Structure 1
Amino acid sequence: MKYKKVRWGIIGCGDVTEKKSGPAFHKVENSELVAVMRRTGELARDYAKRHHVQKWYDDADGLIHDPDVDAVYIATPPGSHKEYTLKAAAAGKPVYVEKPMARSAEECKEMVAACKEAGVPLYVAYYRRAQERFLKIKELLDQKAIGEVRFVSSTQYQKARDGVKNSDHLPWRVQPQIAGGGLFFDLASHTLDILDFLLGPIQEAKGFASNQAGYYEAEDIVTGTYQFQTGVHGIGKWCFTAFEDVDRNEIVGSKGKISFSTFGDDPVILTTSDGQQQWSFERPEHVHQPLVETIVKELTEGGNLCPSKGESGLRTNRVMDEIVGN
């Protein structure tokens, strides 16, 4: 089904929707945000008023079945992603779901199957796939700027945030029953997904996960190795109780390497025997907007335009499950 204009409803209008995603639905051509939902009605109404949204709800079913809502953006924590995706699919509404796609690969499989059966598209908010800096990296790889890719290395560690240090009110991101695991699931998912985009699917992954600091029950350190379908090898290290913050990825080939960060704004650096080149990119005001543009264009014009869908989101969850194990 093609839409002349995509009218969006948001389930879960929390912090991520204030600037990262919410305004994009108004700013993208042929797109409009018409309804929002939050369990606390007063907060939903406040959001609607501040963002000039026509309707607000305090229950998801009301928004999903609103005839003025064409597509549903699920911006809740992962613990409810499957539930709301299945409901939206049953109502015949396209779904755009936050990352990680769900708490496990098994939940993701159910979501993909439900949307396929209902005949509606399922998009996942790995928005880096549509941003200029990562499209530049893909262009360099496609141009064989570093020759044949041999391996990729990711190192990401950070200080323990004050909110998780022996707190009685832990953030949902370190509560496995809500998030699927700890900060690895929330943050490393971005890196693993962009590597899937740049280098193709990972066919096998192994790893170790531990809790070293004891601030919460979820893992706080993860190390993993993986092999891509192309034969490229990968290694990743993630620690969330280190002495400083580091975010570094390197894709190494037969003729050079590409260095970049997942979350930072530092330049993309190409190093070869001829020297170094680098490219800097300004972060989009609303980081979701480039990806939302591809979704709206696909829904209004047809084709296969969005680079982040249920199948790729499922692959990222599967890799995380394999690395963390039990």
Structure 2
Amino acid sequence: MKKIKGDTVCWGVLGVGNVCEVKSAPAMKIIPNSRLVAVMRRSEEKVKDYAQRHNVPKWFTSAEELVNDPEVNAIYIATPPNAHLELTKLAAKAGKPVYVEKPMARTYAECKEMIAICEEAGVPLYVAYYRRALPHFLKIKELMESGAIGEVRTVHINLKQVLKPDVVVHLENNWRINPEIAGGGYFFDLASHQLDLLDFFFGPIISASGIASNQAEAYAAEDIVVGSFEFKNDVLGTGNWCFTTSKSAEIDEVRIYGSKGLIRFETFGKGEFTLESDFEAPIHFQVELPKHIQQPLITEIIRDLLGTSESPSTGITAARTNWVMDRLVEGREGRF
């Protein structure tokens, strides 16, 4: 069933910042049955510059004006998380589908409100967890489902980064480490991708608990989180995230252990991973990633809106990731 009128998704973008330069919005111009017709940013100078550089016909400094433009039939919210709830309300009130950046919101409570708003308005809600549509992650899922590593037993996330020099220098301009805007620090920005990807692989995490701290005290948000979690299918997992480590300790690795082998990969690296099994030499896989990294997911969302497919990332799936992050950071155990 189609979810928009007509045969073309005509996008309006709220908040054309860095993510819209290459990762997302340009793809909306080149995917079949898709057009980028309007962009919005509060700074007239910046939004006009974006529209001119990307050949977008309309630009606005008011979210209300863009959302209510009759030519726009789908809204992409590319702002920081603190604006997601209110802008979702605005788009849903206008009866227009919503595609929102990740993390979906600052808290699970905000996510639930966004879902309820869209359900009441009868509009679909999607979230930009684009790794669900990238080819190497689809291949990993395929291999696990085919039994390449046997029965999956455990999964372990290990992400360590140095304290970025620009964090302290430009602290007031870095919304990603301002909990009032982002919900938390780099954990919310980066671990959300990892936890959502595991949800895609294994289904919902049904219990989680963790410990978070601000060890370096370079900014207000947590800078280290450790935790454990349980998936609905009895797979168990752990995560260890630190954003103030030494250069020599930097790592981005997820390991998935099965009864007959393991798969390891970087979440934020190239389109590659390694399969190791009990029966043959390790196999290294590598695929070319698209220039516009969100293009595969946006393609699926467009197909969903036109009634020919279903998007792998929705408000329902994305909210589960916020639920897990809340449990890990707040340190209290819970069951979903």
TM class by shorter-chain length? Answer: over 0.9
1:196 aligned onto 2:199: yes
Alignment pair present for 1:88 and 2:91: yes
Distance 1:263 1:216 in 2: 23
Are 1:172 and 1:179, in contact at CA under 8 Å, matched by a contact in 2? yes
Q: Deviations over 1:21-51 (max 9, x none)?
A: 0110001100000000000011111111111
The 3-state SS of whatever aligns with 2:172 is coil
- Partner of residue 52, structure 1: 55
Does the 8 Å contact 2:271/2:289 carry over to 1? no
Whole-Å separation in 2 of the counterparts to 1:266 and 1:305: 24
| Partner Cα distance (2:228, 2:133) in 1 | 26
Q: Distance in 1 between matches of 2:303 and 2:292?
A: 17
Q: Which amino acid aligns with 1:232?
A: V
Does the Cα contact within 8 Å between 2:23 and 2:294 map onto a contact in 1?
A: yes
1:202-217 pair list within 5 angstroms: 202-217=205-220
TM-score by length of 2: 0.95
Corresponding residue for residue 334 of structure 2: none
CA distance in structure 2 between the aligned counterparts of 1:113 and 1:169, rounded to whole angstroms: 33
Instruction: Give the equivalent residue in structure 2 for 1:287.
Output: 293
Unaligned runs of 5+ in 2: 332-336
1:17 matched residue in structure 2: 20
1:318 alignment counterpart: 323
Q: Residues 203-238 of structure 1: CA distance to partner in whole angstroms, max 9, x if unpaired? A: 010000000111011100000100000010000000
Check 1:170–1:34 CA distance in 2 against 1; reply closer, same or farther (3 A cut).
closer
- Post-superposition Cα deviations, 1:120-141, rounded to whole Å, max 9, x if no partner, equal 1000000010000100000011
Are the counterparts in 2 of residues 163 and 170 from structure 1 also a CA contact under 8 Å? no
What secondary structure, in the 3-state scheme, does the structure 2 residue paired with 1:227 have?
strand
Amino acid paired to 1:62: E
Quote the Cα distance in structure 1 between the aligned partners of 2:310 and 2:316: 14
* Aligned counterpart for 1:36 among listed residues 39, 64, 79: 39
| Aligned partners of 1:12 and 1:38 also within 8 Å | yes
Which of the residues 99, 109, 113 maps onto 2:112? 109
Change beyond 3 A, Cα 1:218–1:146: same
Q: Secondary structure at the match of 1:240?
A: strand
Give the alignment partner of residue 145 of structure 1, picking from 145, 148, 166. Answer: 148
1:278 aligns with 2:284: yes
Shift of 1:283: 1.9
Instruction: Compute the displacement of 1:103 (Å).
Output: 0.2
State the distance in 1 between where 2:272 and 2:28 align.
28
Q: Is the Cα contact below 8 Å between 2:225 and 2:242 reproduced in 1?
A: yes
Q: Please give the alpha-carbon distance, in whole angstroms, between the structure 2 residues aligned to 1:35 and 1:140.
A: 41
Distance apart, 1:165 and its partner CA: 2.6
2:324 aligned counterpart, secondary structure: helix
Give the direction of change, closer, same or farther, for the CA distance of 1:320–1:41 in structure 2 (3 Å limit): same
Mind listing any 5+ residue stretches in structure 1 that lack a counterpart?
Answer: none
Q: In the TM superposition, what whole-angstrom CA distance separates every residue of 1:233-282 from its partner, at most 9, and x where no partner exists?
A: 00000000011231000000101001111000162111011221121011
Q: 2:69 maps to which residue?
A: 66
Identity of matched residues, %:
53
Query: Does structure 2 conserve the Cα–Cα contact (< 8 Å) formed by 1:26 and 1:33?
Result: yes
Distance 1:168 1:325 in 2: 24
Structure 2: distance between partners of 1:141 and 1:168: 42
In the comparison of the two structures, how many residue pairs are matched?
A: 325
Distance 1:294 1:317 in 2: 22
Corresponding position of 1:228: 231
Q: Which amino acid aligns with 2:319?
A: L
Residues of 2 paired with 1:165 and 1:116: CA distance? 41
Partners of 2:289 and 2:32 lie apart in 1 by 20
TM-score by length of 1: 0.98
Distance 1:168 1:276, change over 3 A: closer
| CA positional deviation for 1:289 | 0.3
Contact kept? 2:252, 2:268, Cα under 8 Å: yes
How far apart are the structure 2 equivalents of 1:49 and 1:168? 30
Which range is displaced more, 173-182 or 272-281? Answer: 272-281
Matched, 1:309 2:314: yes
Work out whether residues 171 and 219 of structure 2, in 8 Å CA contact, stay in contact via their aligned partners in 1. Answer: no
The aligned residue for residue 265 of structure 1 is 270
Q: Aligned partners of 1:320 and 1:79: how far apart in 2?
A: 16
Q: Does the Cα contact within 8 Å between 2:136 and 2:271 map onto a contact in 1?
A: no
- RMSD (Å), alpha carbons: 1.1
CA–CA distance in 2 between the matches of 1:28 and 1:161? 35
